Structure 1
Amino acid sequence: MNHGTILEMRNIEKDYFGNKVLKGVNLTVKPGEIHALLGENGAGKSTLMNILFGMPVIHTTGGFNGEVTFNGSPVALKSPREAMDIGIGMVHQEFMLIPGFTVTENIKLNREITKHNAVSRVLGDSMKSLNMTQMEKDARKALDTLGIGIDEWAKVAGLPVGYMQFVEIAREIDKQNIKLLVFDEPTAVLTESEADTLLQAMKKIADSGIAILFITHRLDEVMSVADNITILRDGELVAALKKEETNVTQLAELMVGRKIEKMAQRDHDLGDDSNIVLKIRNLEVEMPGEEVKGIDLDIRKGEIIGLGGLAGQGKIGIANGIMGLYPATGEVELSGRQIELNNPKASLTNGLAFVSEDRRGVGLLLDSSIELNIVITAMQMKEMFLKKLAFFEQADAKHIREHALKMIEDLDIRCRGPQQLTRRLSGGNQQKVCIARALTLSPNVLFVSEPTRGIDIGAKKLVLDLLVKLNKEMGMTIIMTSSELGELRSICDRIAIITEGKVEGILSPDDSDANFGLMMAGEYKKVHGKEAV
């Protein structure tokens, strides 16, 4: 055992219901080291950190295999409280602050310092007062370590999000026994100057002997502060490097590199930029966690274009904004005709259709039949499948059944019949029902968001094959948003990478792994000095 290490994770394996998400991963961190942990969405970073922090999701799903040693001793952490007790802290992406409390109260929450008063001396310790003077002094020290000028007595409510991130970090470094800090995308909500301040603070923290695990997609930050780098891909360890042994381009390639199997040969001419079916200009969308901050994009008639990028960068927000599910501004033009934003009916009736990433929450009526799910939007938006009677309309059951049976056959939806509840279908077949509903609208352009999320590998291929079939046989223009870069590269004609709410660039699916990785990390223009178009 190497006692020069603070953390050793050996041969870590984890599966969720048969799906192996970590495959023999090793990780070693030394005291006072800044160790970067890199990987695409779904690479296994979060699962590895959940194991380290004793998160309940690990233990309620069968635990994990492998060994974790902390500060020279084997540990089997069952809860975040146990992790904190031995000196592991984590700064999460999602804020865990109480808005109505002051900065000091948030930093000292559950670790308050108390002092005796006249009543407590008689009635006991439970009547002690808060020692606000000492608490504010400690809070000030933690904030000064970070180099941030927040007033320790200020309320958290109303603080800029960047300052909230610093309060989260100050709370962790104020803990007396802290030996290892995990930073999960800590600069994601910070301005450039705030990010620089944080990186300098991380160096100061490390210089004090505290180890830092730094999870980020910003490769320039990695090269700026990290000592060592571990890269995961598809649940496997692909590289463990010293910073001096690598560069931004190699890191980008290692993050995304994999064999790409083309699912279909593109055999049609998409034409030039005069063949534009959908024109998007200065699109901004207020979708929490997926904000779009000024997208310009032209979609060519008859293509499959992919929207890729890391989680939280805005790719999901594009379709949701255009289809009116979240507040949006800008201009969207379909075949020369302006589409009214913030109006789902306008989008649907003008030739757009959408298969949502949230098929259970938005895409399906789970306790209704397959046939009703297929026709419901067309009934509501286009008054299809209705029989007009003297004073009212009613559903045309015969027409609905005929259409549903055709869709079930055409899309190969595996079911007992059109009356089966969609809740009883497999994930892949539920996704096909969502696509059938969209196709029933006879759209000119189909948005498909995360079409293979949560379905098994066999069903994924069936769904992707279906999208290719719709594109080739019906000439349908498809805009596919996915966190699975390999899937985008397997079926798309072009792929637009979205970074920090904007188009970082557009690549061919055959472009290099390095270029895809650089774009996803927002480093392409810095390395190449130009945009990819």
Structure 2
Amino acid sequence: MSNVALEMKNIEKEYFNNKVLKGIDLKIKPGEIHAILGENGAGKSTLMNILFGMPVIHSTGGYTGDILIDGKKVDIKSPKEAMDLGIGMVHQEFMLIPGFTITENVKLNREKSKSNLISKILGEKLETLDVKSMNQDTRKALDKLEMDIEEWSMVEGLPVGYKQFIEIAREIDKSNIKVLVFDEPTAVLTESEAENLLSAMKKLATDGIAIVFITHRLEEVMMVSDNITILRDGELVASKPKKDTNIIELAQLMVGRKIEKIANAESNEEEFKNKKVILSIKNFEVDMPGETAKGINLEVRKGEILGIGGLAGQGKIGIANGLMGLYESSGEVTINNKKLNLNDTTESLNKGLSFVSEDRRGVGLLLDTSIEMNIVLTAIQMQGRYISKIGPFTQKSKKEIRSHALKMIKDLDIRCRGPEQITRRLSGGNQQKVCIARALTLKPDILLVSEPTRGIDIGAKKLVLDLLYKLNKELGMTIIMTSSELAELRTICHRIAIIAEGKVEGILSPDESDVTFGLMMAGEYNKINKKGAL
């Protein structure tokens, strides 16, 4: 047997001319727990998708580089091939069938059967399930994880922690398992459940299974890993033994990069200290699946660009969606000292909020409608503008709509053939500008912009950021920009609120150190502060 369970050599991957992995090398021994760290978009998931042969990789041109299992080069084209080679994956989102028992979930697609009188005559296809043997196998896997639950229990209604362990039991029940990938396994677990899972990982490693541990929780990395690899912007920035590093260094490596501010966008917090609080949020909770906010407290000052950052699934996306009444929310919100009635989108718009959604194509645009109608539609519906009356009848004011659309196209530099062009035909960056134009048409007091550069090329990203900066600088517009791209927030924001586990971990100047940003994003800053380590 090779002394290297998994080796990935010079792995590169492009999505539509955008290189997301740039020559990644990874080497993991049997029985080793190897942590992979990185911000959202660093390339962690893409690397694991390549290892697991996910269809998204092969339907977008494949990848370059080599994968070796036990020293032998392999070409993994599907998850089934990955599983046949001994690679297992425990996903963050559970892949269990609620109406099945634990055994049925563990043994799904690997059922055992036994012969009976009919099958002996008519063939093995008529064999019956060997429930006793499958229950025994499942019991063995559950015992290895020290799970005190009956294997015949239904999955539906079980606590989240139990479901995570059932996912693991399914993987370790496979007789050939060599490499086991844990993708953010503790993200949905309580503290005690997470401790149990980390303990189980250590136990599996002693059985010779190589474990890949993808996480953003630095404390957990230091508790269980043997070696650590940090990815940033698709590049491998460091790979080192745990004994040679610490949480502070890992935080810096995770987020550290050169920040090029837009001209005159230096943070000047003093400038805003005495400015009016235009938006106040107290104990704000939002029930948005995957982005739950659990008690947000924030104040936004008139004329500032406030950034909201954090890792995926920590609740940052939920804030703007909750303020706009798109997901159930509670708490106390005031705009210009007037209380906002929550869970009412019309009320939010009437109180001066305007929203550019993170889901540009699904929520933000009518793709098969003209640019000009996309720009004015919400203003027509919510404010009764761009409508002319003839007696008792109303109709769209085409002249007014055209005039406004042409002005927006010019002011925002929307590259198009004209205001009648179908929005679907625009590039991603220009589609985003149409979303911003529609929001601005409402003449808002506060512009909420969520993931403004997601899915657009580098050149277009700069144009969008330049536009937001210009709106703030020249029009004095208050902007709340939510983004997974920390570097972009640090480029144009005056202050940045970091969200971790549904709450504000802290509010930073964009000039704050990479270490502080990294620790806050990992939810470790306040823990370390309490221990007096900073």
On whether the aligned pair clears a TM of 0.5, the verdict is yes
Q: Distance in 1 between matches of 2:272 and 2:55?
A: 53
For the Cα contact (< 8 Å) 1:260–1:490, is it kept in 2? yes
| CA shift digits 1:25-78 (9 cap, x unpaired) | 100000000000111111111111111111122122221111111111011111
Instruction: Please state whether the residue corresponding to 2:117 is helix, strand or coil.
Output: coil
Letter matched to residue 372 of structure 2: E
- The 3 A distance-change label for structure 1 pair 451 and 3 is same
Q: Distance in 1 between matches of 2:150 and 2:338?
A: 52
Instruction: Please state whether the residue corresponding to 1:36 is helix, strand or coil.
Output: strand
Q: Distance in 2 between matches of 1:304 and 1:497?
A: 14
Instruction: Provide the residue aligned with 2:44 in structure 1.
Output: 45
Instruction: Provide the residue aligned with 2:527 in structure 1.
Output: 526
Q: Distance in 1 between matches of 2:285 and 2:473?
A: 31
Q: Does 1:418 align with 2:431?
A: no
Query: TM-score scaled to structure 1, two decimals?
Result: 0.97
For the Cα contact (< 8 Å) 2:316–2:502, is it kept in 1? yes
Instruction: Provide the residue aligned with 1:151 in structure 2.
Output: 150
Q: Distance in 1 between matches of 2:389 and 2:63?
A: 60
- The 3 A distance-change label for structure 1 pair 274 and 398 is closer
Instruction: Provide the residue aligned with 2:201 in structure 1.
Output: 202
| Higher mean displacement: 176-185 or 58-67 | 58-67
Instruction: Please state whether the residue corresponding to 1:448 is helix, strand or coil.
Output: strand
Please report how far the alpha carbon of residue 513 of structure 1 lies from its aligned counterpart in structure 2 after TM superposition.
Answer: 0.5
For the Cα contact (< 8 Å) 1:264–1:468, is it kept in 2? no
Instruction: Provide the residue aligned with 2:309 in structure 1.
Output: 308
Instruction: Please state whether the residue corresponding to 1:203 is helix, strand or coil.
Output: helix
Instruction: Please state whether the residue corresponding to 2:30 is helix, strand or coil.
Output: coil
Please report how far the alpha carbon of residue 285 of structure 1 lies from its aligned counterpart in structure 2 after TM superposition.
Answer: 1.0
Instruction: Provide the residue aligned with 1:329 in structure 2.
Output: 330
| Uncovered stretches (5+) of structure 1, i.e. residues with no partner | none
Instruction: Please state whether the residue corresponding to 1:271 is helix, strand or coil.
Output: helix
Q: Distance in 1 between matches of 2:309 and 2:226?
A: 29
Instruction: Provide the residue aligned with 2:460 in structure 1.
Output: 459
Please report how far the alpha carbon of residue 274 of structure 1 lies from its aligned counterpart in structure 2 after TM superposition.
Answer: 6.5
Letter matched to residue 241 of structure 1: K
Q: Distance in 2 between matches of 1:259 and 1:463?
A: 20
Letter matched to residue 350 of structure 1: K
| Uncovered stretches (5+) of structure 2, i.e. residues with no partner | none
Q: Does 1:298 align with 2:291?
A: no
Instruction: Provide the residue aligned with 2:285 in structure 1.
Output: 284
For the Cα contact (< 8 Å) 1:99–1:156, is it kept in 2? yes
Please report how far the alpha carbon of residue 186 of structure 1 lies from its aligned counterpart in structure 2 after TM superposition.
Answer: 0.4
Q: Distance in 2 between matches of 1:164 and 1:445?
A: 42
Q: Distance in 1 between matches of 2:360 and 2:394?
A: 29
Letter matched to residue 335 of structure 1: N
Q: Does 1:166 align with 2:165?
A: yes
Q: Distance in 1 between matches of 2:472 and 2:161?
A: 43
Letter matched to residue 180 of structure 1: V
Instruction: Provide the residue aligned with 1:343 in structure 2.
Output: 344
For the Cα contact (< 8 Å) 1:12–1:64, is it kept in 2? yes
Q: After superposition, where does 1:100-499 map in structure 2 within 5 Å? A: 100-266=99-265, 270-272=271-273, 275-499=276-500
Instruction: Please state whether the residue corresponding to 2:19 is helix, strand or coil.
Output: strand
Matched length = 530
Q: Distance in 1 between matches of 2:171 and 2:390?
A: 68
Please report how far the alpha carbon of residue 122 of structure 1 lies from its aligned counterpart in structure 2 after TM superposition.
Answer: 3.0
Q: Distance in 2 between matches of 1:147 and 1:251?
A: 32
Please report how far the alpha carbon of residue 118 of structure 1 lies from its aligned counterpart in structure 2 after TM superposition.
Answer: 3.1
Please report how far the alpha carbon of residue 530 of structure 1 lies from its aligned counterpart in structure 2 after TM superposition.
Answer: 8.7
For the Cα contact (< 8 Å) 1:116–1:129, is it kept in 2? yes
For the Cα contact (< 8 Å) 2:265–2:491, is it kept in 1? no
| CA shift digits 1:235-270 (9 cap, x unpaired) | 111101100000001001001100001113247754
Please report how far the alpha carbon of residue 116 of structure 1 lies from its aligned counterpart in structure 2 after TM superposition.
Answer: 2.2
Q: Distance in 2 between matches of 1:183 and 1:260?
A: 32
Instruction: Provide the residue aligned with 1:25 in structure 2.
Output: 24
For the Cα contact (< 8 Å) 2:445–2:478, is it kept in 1? yes
Letter matched to residue 104 of structure 2: E
Q: Distance in 2 between matches of 1:433 and 1:125?
A: 62
Q: Distance in 1 between matches of 2:39 and 2:265?
A: 27
For the Cα contact (< 8 Å) 2:11–2:24, is it kept in 1? yes
For the Cα contact (< 8 Å) 1:147–1:197, is it kept in 2? no
Instruction: Provide the residue aligned with 2:84 in structure 1.
Output: 85
- The 3 A distance-change label for structure 1 pair 274 and 456 is closer
For the Cα contact (< 8 Å) 2:9–2:26, is it kept in 1? yes
Instruction: Please state whether the residue corresponding to 1:340 is helix, strand or coil.
Output: coil
Please report how far the alpha carbon of residue 147 of structure 1 lies from its aligned counterpart in structure 2 after TM superposition.
Answer: 2.2
Instruction: Provide the residue aligned with 1:512 in structure 2.
Output: 513
| CA shift digits 1:505-532 (9 cap, x unpaired) | 111100011111101111001222399x
Letter matched to residue 447 of structure 1: L
Letter matched to residue 373 of structure 2: L
Please report how far the alpha carbon of residue 415 of structure 1 lies from its aligned counterpart in structure 2 after TM superposition.
Answer: 1.0
For the Cα contact (< 8 Å) 1:307–1:482, is it kept in 2? yes
Please report how far the alpha carbon of residue 273 of structure 1 lies from its aligned counterpart in structure 2 after TM superposition.
Answer: 6.5
| CA shift digits 1:322-364 (9 cap, x unpaired) | 1011111111110111111111111011100000011111001
Letter matched to residue 318 of structure 2: G
Letter matched to residue 462 of structure 2: K
| CA shift digits 1:288-346 (9 cap, x unpaired) | 11111111111111110111011111111110111011111111110111111111111
- The 3 A distance-change label for structure 1 pair 426 and 328 is same
For the Cα contact (< 8 Å) 2:272–2:304, is it kept in 1? no
Q: Distance in 2 between matches of 1:108 and 1:369?
A: 52
Q: Distance in 1 between matches of 2:149 and 2:288?
A: 28
| Higher mean displacement: 353-362 or 141-150 | 141-150
| Higher mean displacement: 265-274 or 366-375 | 265-274
For the Cα contact (< 8 Å) 1:220–1:523, is it kept in 2? yes
Instruction: Provide the residue aligned with 1:55 in structure 2.
Output: 54
| CA shift digits 1:70-107 (9 cap, x unpaired) | 11101111111111001000111121111111111000
Letter matched to residue 519 of structure 2: L
For the Cα contact (< 8 Å) 2:500–2:521, is it kept in 1? yes
| Higher mean displacement: 138-147 or 504-513 | 138-147
For the Cα contact (< 8 Å) 1:37–1:215, is it kept in 2? yes
| Higher mean displacement: 154-163 or 284-293 | 154-163
For the Cα contact (< 8 Å) 2:103–2:135, is it kept in 1? yes
Q: Distance in 2 between matches of 1:254 and 1:318?
A: 28
Letter matched to residue 529 of structure 1: K
Instruction: Please state whether the residue corresponding to 1:437 is helix, strand or coil.
Output: helix
Instruction: Please state whether the residue corresponding to 1:37 is helix, strand or coil.
Output: strand
Instruction: Provide the residue aligned with 1:94 in structure 2.
Output: 93
Q: Distance in 1 between matches of 2:253 and 2:358?
A: 28
